[in-house]
Structure 1
Amino acid sequence: MTIERIQDRSLVQKVLPFLVIFGALFLLIWPTVEGIVSRWFKFDESYSHGLLLLLVSAVLIVRTVKRDSPVPGFYPLWLLPFALALIAYGLGDVLRVQALQELTIVPLLLGTLAIFLGWQQVKAFIIPVGILFFTVPVWDYLSWTLQVITVEINRLLLGFFDIDFEVEGVFVYLIGVGAFEVAHGCSGLRYLLVGQALAALYGELNFRCLRSRIVFFLTAVGFALLANWIRVFVIIYMGYETNMESSLIRDHDNFGWWVFAGTLVPLFLIGRKLEMTNAEQAPRADRGLPATDKGGYRRLWSGVAATSALPVLLLALLPSSAGEIKPSPDSFDLGLNTERYGPLFGKRLSGWKPQVRNPDLVFVQTVFDRGAVTGESGPEQQLFVGVYSYEYQRHRAELVQYYNRIYDRDEWLPEKFFRVMSPSGVPLQGVTLRSLSSGKYVHLAYGYYVAGLWEIDQWRAKLAQVMGFFSPRTDASLIIFGTACEDCDGEAAVGELVSDVMPPIVNQVDQHFQK
């Protein structure tokens, strides 16, 4: 009984410093962790494996602790990289760059362990903890590159067949048959993340040599990409052969996972072959004596106090990222030329509207050009003007975020992209959308107006948010113009609307936020 109590007391003494420091750290990083975990519960996206990998990570950590029996101490040199990671996290919070905060989560966790275990002990935890990096949503930034690569590979494959096709951006047009968009979900990101996680896990369990782990990991990446290329090609080819009637076109997720599973067979055969190499079969080197307690009880808790103070101090210094989220946006006091434009009922354009989450101010009008109406048939052309503004950037209420999209991808398909030049020389992004249900077209021109700066690309708009932090203006707006008509030149129509309406609208926005 006494021996059991001594063992329990020893275990508590070893675990308690980590509980204290991780508690202090999570006070700081919890909003970011909560955001990451929320993505894990979106089971139709690329990060639905997050919960499973969290469990795997926990099992690997327990396995490593039982195998190596690490001894906690205090290694103050590791406070420097830990502090640098905290600074990077703080910059991400100040500048509202969520990706920077997400990138620092795993380094902060490993940095905490390094402070109390030192390099010789913490390196055994790199994979058990680092595997969580494959669950962090920053991988979304690879999506566009993967989409472009997938399109180019399929352009090459389709060239070997007698198929009349054209490629424009991420669209593959089968002449006389239909069009395919290699969208975000077709980038292969989900297969890449799962393949990388499996490779890291397999290497941790079966390999001892770094070279074997690297070779196996790179092979897994190649097979994961190959699985997606095959999947997309088969879908396009079946669409061509069946005149777009194949069930794969409507439901191809399961098919993709079957193809991915098929590539795991040669992958694990290669892994087995690597296990049989001379380097892997050599006698296992002695791990040496366990690390000793570096500095004793008092030194350890001095380190706990110093390390815990850093995230708590940063939390106290950071401006609050929270803010009041209005239950419904206020109406923007803007106006159009009523002599030329007459109002129409509704705030949609042929069923379309942008997806904008938690704006502070909104101005939306669907109108018609009075001068274009002839006879009693009513307006043949509908016009749309929308301004969605945030007074300042904060958590869940910022211009560039995951939930803000120009169109619902489940309802609309982009057919063509173009540029629209405003009277002031500011270019706007133009896009023609086709409704998947009605087949109707809408033509849009939009731009991001951030602290007085114009951008048409989301990444540049995000950077403008960073620059806006040093500007007296804190506002950010999505300004969008649209037209819907049966027999008209949509690009010319939306360009004419921009030329006439954009200057007074932007002037009114400036007057509002420069008060």
Structure 2
Amino acid sequence: MYDTARAPVNWRMPLAFLGFLLLAILVLYAQTASDMVAIWSRSNAYSHGFVVPFITLWLIWRIRHTLAALQPRPSSSVWLLMLGAASLWLAGDLVAVNAATQFALVTLLVLSVPALLGWQVAATMAFPLGFLFFSVPIGDFMTPHLMEWTADFTVMALRLSGIPVYREGQQFVIPSGSWSVVEACSGIRYMMASVTVGALFAYLSYRSFIRRLLFICVAILVPLVANWLRAYLVVMIAHISGNEIGIGFDHIVAGWVFFGLVIFAMLFIGARWSEEWMPEPAPAEASSSSDGKSLKLDGGYSSLLATAVALVIVISPYPVLHVLAMGGNTVPVNLAVPQLQPGWQIAALLPGNWEPVVQFPSAVAHTGYLGPQGQVVGMHLSYYRQQDYQRKLVSSGNRLIKSDDEHWAQLPGNREGVTVAGQPLSVATVTLRQQGAGLSSISQRLQVWRWYWVNDRFTSSDAMAKILGALSRLTGRGDDGAIVVLYTPLNSQLLEAEARASATAVLRDFLQAHGGALEAALRQTRGRD
């Protein structure tokens, strides 16, 4: 009978080296691991990350008998993949992208298994190792789309119910009151929990790949539809009860209770087609050449060599970072503002009681301008230097308004093709509406353009700004960058389309006059070429 208290002799040395390598990776990338745990702690959408490592270990323990029959052999073919993961971490750290560094960390942990135990062992542990990626808090990029879909369904369902609705962006008004679809209404929390539980349930309940895949697809669709129904029911209950039920704490409790019932029903129905789970039979012991490029050394020497090479790979990003840090600009930022062009002057007041939300900039300038025909334009510059994971140019925390802003609402936007200092730019443009007057047409509205300046280039793409920032650091030019926001009020005396066209013309005129001066001011601020 197999003794579960002790590992087979041929496993003891490889397991010892594997444990050492995993510990070394966690120590070397402790800050990345700590940031991931911090996200688990503060975000309900990713709190399941605390249990994912323990579930992974439990899943591996369940197949220990199958694994014991295999012969662990280090595989050198994994080294290139580990180097790619380490490079991904380096690229993510250069531009402070948590998703990239955290994904790379988990990838290094997973690849350590085939690196020291071989591909045959890793293939047997494929799902447990893959399940570990559920600990990576990735998914916030879906939130705007989920919010839009929730608003679309809720408004459609209300109209089908005979309730008149006036919608503008993510805000809508019905006879009993006004509502807004915010980030908490997106359903991202429900989806993350459902997909994680659904994948685990599919693995444990089915042996057929098709059934597993179908159930995971159901686990993705169910929280989507459930969240839409939840939002609709909350609004309906509040409407019918005269806003006595379904708001505030009732809103939150009802959401989780409804979601819990839906997930329970999904698992209950899915269990009707469950298949008895059993470990797959252990494959016959492979020859030394059956595991790809397995190391041919005997005993612990092959494990020692594989561990040493893996350690060199996981350490490799740090010397690169040290060299790049030596070329960073540490001089305090003295933010220059664009020189006034003929016909324009500094306005006594800003063109609206608003400013964008930016986190930890190195310097900020917010100026109002008055044009020759009475045009009013505001420009907000947020400059960044010596960026890190808290103070960074491209961040979800840098936005035009807060998600729960009580004074301003952001309406759906589009893109506008412009030229800035001779550089073509597709600028992101949105309309902001003041909340004080509800959805009234007399509430103040602002036409807003927003883009980045990085490495002497203008771009409105978050991804391109990150790439330009990484290239700037790699070429020794530092990590300086800026957010540029240009805005002007909409004329309330004009029809909506006419007011937006007029505002666009005002911003174009200002940018045509000051584009070169803006670029010169940003270069002057950077202070070196």
Deviations 1:317-374 (A, max 9, x none): 3456879999997452326759833545xx9952x43222232232234x5759999x
Aligned equivalent of 1:317, options 320, 327, 339 = 320
Q: After the TM superposition, which of the residue ranges 212-221 and 428-437 deviates more from structure 2?
A: 428-437
Give the match for residue 253 of structure 1. 252
Between the aligned partners of 2:373 and 2:159, the Cα distance in structure 1 is: 47
Distance, in Å, in 2 between the alignment partners of 1:199 and 1:510 is 52
Q: Which amino acid aligns with 1:296?
A: G
The counterpart of 2:382, out of the listed 385, 388, 403, is: 388
- Asked whether the 8 Å contact 1:73–1:117 carries over to 2, the reply is yes
Residue deviations 1:104-161 (CA, integer Å, cap 9, x gap): 3333222111122223322343333332322323222233343444444445534533
Q: Are 1:451 and 2:455 counterparts?
A: yes
In the alignment, the residues of structure 1 paired with residue 525 and residue 53 of structure 2 have an alpha-carbon distance, to the nearest angstrom, of 47
Structure 2 CA distance for aligned equivalents of residues 467 and 422 of structure 1:
25
CA distance in 2, matches of 1:285, 1:438: 66
Aligned pair 1:509/2:500, yes or no?
no
Mark the CA change 1:6 to 1:178 in structure 2 (over 3 Å): closer, same or farther: closer
Structure 2 Cα separation of the partners of residues 181 and 206 of structure 1: 40
Q: Is 1:420–1:428's contact at 8 Å kept on the other side of the alignment?
A: yes
Give percent identity, aligned residues only: 21
The 2-side partners of 1:218 and 1:232 are apart by 22
- Contact 2:13–2:300 (Cα < 8 Å) also in 1: no
Maintained 8 Å contact 1:322/1:394: no
Say whether residues 1:273 and 2:286 are aligned partners: no
Q: Are the aligned partners of 1:73 and 1:296 in contact in 2 as well (CA < 8 Å)?
A: no
Aligned residue number for residue 359 of structure 2 = 357
- The aligned runs of 1:202-217 (5 Å cut-off) are 202-217=201-216
State the Cα deviation string for residues 354-407 of structure 1 (Å, max 9, x = none): 222232232234x5759999xxxxxxx996432111246544332112322222
Partner SS for 1:332: coil
Question: 1:99: how far off?
Answer: 3.4
Matched residue type, 1:512:
T
Contact 1:421 1:495 in 2 (8 A): no
The answer on whether the counterparts of 2:143 and 2:186 sit within 8 Å (CA) in structure 1 is: yes
Instruction: State whether residues 450 and 461 of structure 1, in contact with CA within 8 Å, keep that contact through their aligned partners in structure 2.
Output: yes
Q: Tell me how far apart the structure 1 counterparts of residues 358 and 331 of structure 2 sit (CA, whole Å).
A: 12
What is the match of residue 414 of structure 1? 410
TM-score (norm 1): 0.78
The structure-2 alpha-carbon separation of the partners of 1:281 and 1:47, relative to structure 1 and needing over 3 Å to count, comes to closer
Unaligned segments of structure 2, at least 5 residues:
289-295
Structure 1 residues 95 and 386: CA distance shift in structure 2, 3 A: closer
Query: Retained in 2: the 8 A contact 1:387–1:478?
Result: yes
Aligned to 1:116: 116
User: Does the Cα contact within 8 Å between 1:419 and 1:429 map onto a contact in 2?
Assistant: yes
Change (3 A) 1:390 1:497: same
Map residues 10-21 of structure 1 onto 2, 5 A cutoff. 13=13, 15-21=15-21
In structure 1, the gaps of 5 or more residues are 374-380
Q: Tell me which moved more, 196-205 or 419-428.
A: 419-428
Taking a change above 3 Å as real, the CA distance of residues 462 and 80 of structure 1, as seen in their structure-2 partners, is closer
Residues 328, 271 of structure 1: alpha-carbon distance in 2 compared, 3 angstrom cutoff: farther
State the match for 1:161 in structure 2: 161
How far is 1:20 from its partner? Answer: 2.4
Q: Which amino acid aligns with 1:268?
A: L
Quote the residue 1:377 is aligned against: none
8 A contact 1:388–1:477 mirrored in 2? yes
Partner of 1:127: 127
How far apart are residue 10 of structure 1 and its match?
9.7
**3-state secondary structure, aligned to 1:248:** coil
Q: Is the 8 A contact 2:71 2:285 kept in 1?
A: yes
Distance 1:493 1:258, change over 3 A: same
- Tell me how far apart the structure 1 counterparts of residues 204 and 161 of structure 2 sit (CA, whole Å): 43
- Counterpart amino acid of residue 185 in structure 2: C
Question: In the alignment, residue 282 of structure 2 is paired with which amino acid?
Answer: R
The partner residue of 2:282 within 275, 287, 295 is 287
Structure 2 residue aligned with 1:306: 309
**Residues 82-231 of structure 1 mapped to structure 2, 5 A cutoff:** 82-94=82-94, 97-154=97-154, 156-158=156-158, 160-165=160-165, 171=170, 173-174=172-173, 180-231=179-230
- SS of match in other structure, 1:130: helix
Tell me how far 1:478 sits from its aligned partner.
Answer: 0.8
Contact persistence 1:434–1:441 (CA under 8 A): yes
The answer (yes or no) to whether the contact 1:330–1:362 under 8 Å persists in 2 is: no
Secondary structure of 1:48's aligned partner: helix
Count how many residue pairs are aligned between Structure 1 and Structure 2.
496
CA contact (8 A) 2:330 2:386 kept: no
Which letter maps to 1:389? Y
8 Å Cα contact 1:448/1:476 also seen in 2:
yes
1:413 offset after TM fit, Å?
Answer: 2.2
Cα-to-partner distance string for 1:180-223 (whole Å, 9 max, x where unaligned): 44443333222111111112222344444434332322222222
Mapped to 2, the partners of 1:281 and 1:337 lie a distance apart of 76
Structure 1: distance between partners of 2:471 and 2:319: 24
| Distance in 2 between residues matched to 1:89 and 1:148, nearest whole Å | 32
Is 2:274 the counterpart of 1:264?
no
SS of 1:410's equivalent in the other structure is: coil
Structure-1 residue corresponding to 2:485: 480
1:114 is paired with a residue whose SS is helix
Between the aligned partners of 2:6 and 2:46, the Cα distance in structure 1 is: 43
Residue of structure 2 in register with 1:461 after alignment: 465
In 2 relative to 1, CA 420–312 (structure 1 residues): closer, same or farther, beyond 3 Å?
Answer: closer
Give the distance between the partners of 1:230 and 1:176, measured in 2 at CA. 20
